[in-house]
A and B are shown apart, each in its own frame.
Chain A
Amino acid sequence: MTGRVCRLTGDESFCQRIREMGFGEASLVTKISGHTTSLCMVNGTRLALNHDAARCILVEHLPAGAR
């Protein structure tokens, strides 16, 4: 499942950090697995996010083939 990050909310210093890690607005993210803890692929790296962290990242779903 691939989406595009549209907005980061919540804790400011956390948002700054994930932007610095290349996970900012407009980046593409693929969710690989996980329910409460998610495993995502961003720019070729696997990043684990816990539930609260994942909730800070709002993603719009991309229709299949839109990449």
Chain B
Amino acid sequence: MVGNPNCGKTTLFNALTGLRQKVGNYPGVTIEKKIGEAFSQHGRPMKIIDLPGAYSLAARSPDEAVTRDVLLGRRADTPQPDRIICVIDASNLERNLYLVHQILDLGRPVIIALNMMDLAAGNGTRIDHAKLEDELGVPVIPCEAIHGRGLVELRLAMSRAELPLARHSWDVPAPIAAAVAELQASLVDTDGRPPLIARAEALLLLTDFDTLGVAGSTPLSARTLGLLNVWHERWKGQGTDWSATLIKGRYEAINHLCRDVIRRTRVSGPSLSDRVDAVLVHSMWGWVFFGAIMVALFFSIFSLAEYPMNWIDGWIAALGTWVQSAMAPGDLRDLLTDGVIGGVGGIVIFLPQILILFFFVGLLESTGYMARAAFLMDRPMSKVGLHGKSFIPLLGSYACAIPGIMATRTIENAKDRLVTILVAPLMSCSARLPVYLLMIATLLPSETVPTATKVGIMLGMYVLGTAGAFGFAWLFKRTLLRSAPALMILELPPYQPPRFKEILRQMLERGWLFLKNAGTIILGISIVLWFLTAYPKHPDPAVTADVQIAASYAGQAGHLIEPLIKPLGFDWRIGIGLVTSFAAREVFVSSMGVIFGVEGAEDDMSPLRDTLRSATWPDGAALFTPLVCVVLMIYYVFAMQCMSTIAIVKRETNSWRWPLFQVAYMTGTAWLVCFLVYQAGRLAGY
């Protein structure tokens, strides 16, 4: 399945295969090929590949390169597809046909899915699909992927044993025909390409100087490269822009084709999207709206989440009390109450907030606001040397840095992409939410504190992280990864009403992932941590719990790192949390639950925030002072505490250099900023 970005490929793919790949109303949602299976009309299995959107085979970014390379059979892990389904957006036929025109050159059987017929009709455009089918000689199936219309017909067409090849008469302009022929021969002979693919690739290589440059494709033979150079040099000498000529030729053919196919039944005035945009991308109202969304998000996190959170809290406490009364005292009981319930339970109560966050992210993604946010942010981003498109991955990183980092594949400039990858984890992700919430609850336990104060602190942390990301982007663009400011062109799709079913599904998926993590990684770490706090046993069994834990393995390790973090106001117990949460940030909360649960009185099942508030240094001074709570939040704003992010950065940058650099600069900054804030706070008397 290929087509322009945002034309509904994945929606169609999901409908055909029953899979649930991510769909969103902005260009660049799919950034890697996805494989699924569907069945033909006769029950034969068909493998379907969903590809990232592309405007042209002349790829400009890593995601488009995936599409180009799969189509040209350049990828070792994917055989060249037997058939190509071109999905096109009927409301923008001409531009979508450009890619189709290039694909017809490949000489493969093609089926055209004329998607978004509803939008075209809404614009007052009537498309004569039978005529289009006639002209091109390939099946053209009108459909509306979100409403499931046209699927049966599409499946029927896909099931046909024989598909006609396109009646695609298109002459390569004479002056470059010789070059194409020569290069085609070389590609067939020395690079083992099938003849038609070789022709398409020759056209691409000759007219697109970047085709060689994008990483991930198999290198060409020396002979082909030599030929290519000769022609490039010759044309440079002549000063003719053959690529422009070629594009013009294709568009002329397309316009000719469309003349009889498209009928505009009425001239439409400004659409609803235009009127909404007049406000949402307005240089002042746009920002007001953006701010309002953020404030609404955090208000819901604090006020709406309270009720479900209290229920979960109640159930967990009840479970703990029950275990305590039902079991005989001993290590196993302690493991269950302190390790399992204290650790995992402490984190599970944040499920409502996580769901709310993903609900908002889903709203932004499905309505089409993402691209508007990128537009709005282009100006501030340009001040640091990036452009608005980089903001889409950054905004996505508010949910989780991993999809955010993957989304950088839509960025054309390699250095800009790297800068975006480097700063993306500074955007406060959902895993930080439990840490912030726990610290805010410890800081402001009283019921009388207005929600606005809590929202303000939370917003402050998000702003701090975002400012950090901008600041470091500025720094990296000026030092390590210097490059000229990149040019941005970004399509803003029409607004769509939010698709609540889709949003709900994504929320449940993320919520389930969160619970699964809690049930596996966090459970595992909590159990291990519990053992480390319980052993070795103090020679004197009568000692209090805090003496026992101080002498345990965890206590010894904690004391070892305490000198390093004492200048930040943290003691060894917090230190253990910092170390364990290197796996994932939310582990900090579960670790605090285990450590302070073990230490606490025998039958104490009070909320963690109260336990933390009563924690002290050996000299009796309070440990979690307001200053320490704030410093701890700041630490989590900056520190790189996520194994999965490190792994994904390694994969996306193809080296260990960048993830390690990222750990060093982020955690280094975290330490430094915390040190300054804590020491300044102390001096100021906090």
Contacts and interface: CB of A to CB of B under 8 A. Distances in A.
A34 B281 contact: yes
A19 B487 contact: no
A49 interface: yes
Using C-beta atoms within 8 Å of the partner chain, give the interface range for chain B. 35 or more
Nearest to A11: B487
A16 B281 contact: no
Given A48-B375, A48-B378, A49-B489, A43 B209 contact: no
Nearest to A10: B487
A57 to B, nearest CB: 10
Nearest to A23: B489
Contacts of A24: 244, 247-248, 251
A32 B372 CA distance: 14
Interface in A11-45: 11-25, 32-37, 39, 43-45
A21 B244 contact: no
A6 B618 CA distance: 77
B362 to A, nearest CB: 22
Contacts of B491: 45-48
B95 interface: yes
A56 interface: yes
B382 A51 contact: yes
Q: Which among B58, B207, B487 has the greatest number of chain A C-beta atoms within 10 A?
A: B487
B246 to A, nearest CB: 9
Nearest to B493: A46
A21 B208 contact: no
Contacts of A45: 92, 95, 491
Interface string B667-678: 000000000000
Nearest to B57: A20
Contacts, number: 112
B417 to A, nearest CB: 16
B447 to A, nearest CB: 45
A50 B382 contact: yes
A47 B4 CA distance: 14
Nearest to A18: B489
B281 A33 contact: yes
Nearest to A33: B281
A17 B211 CA distance: 13
A5 interface: no
Contacts of B277: 32-33, 39, 46
A53 B281 contact: no
A17 B58 contact: yes
Contacts of B487: 10-11, 14, 49-50, 52-53, 56
Contacts of A53: 487-489
Contacts of B378: 36-37, 48, 50
Contact of A22 (B95, B281, B388, B486): B95
Contacts of B379: 36-37
B89 to A, nearest CB: 9
A50 B58 contact: no
Nearest to A20: B56
Contact of B247 (A10, A11, A20, A35): A20
B123 interface: yes
B374 interface: yes
B388 A43 contact: no
B485 interface: yes
A58 to B, nearest CB: 15
B98 interface: yes
A50 to B, nearest CB: 4
B274 A32 contact: yes
Interface string B484-523: 0111111111000000000000000000000000000000
A12 to B, nearest CB: 7
Contacts of A51: 382
Contacts of B485: 52
B94 A43 contact: yes
Nearest to B125: A44
Given A22-B98, A48-B374, 18 more contacts: A16-B207, A17-B56, A17-B58, A22-B95, A22-B251, A24-B251, A37-B388, A39-B277, A39-B281, A44-B91, A44-B123, A46-B493, A48-B371, A48-B488, A48-B489, A48-B490, A50-B488, A52-B488
| Minimum-distance CB pairs A-B, first 8 | A53-B487, A50-B488, A37-B378, A46-B492, A20-B56, A48-B490, A22-B95, A19-B247
Interface of A: 10-25, 32-37, 39, 43-53, 56
6 contacts: A19-B248, A32-B274, A34-B281, A43-B92, A43-B95, A45-B92
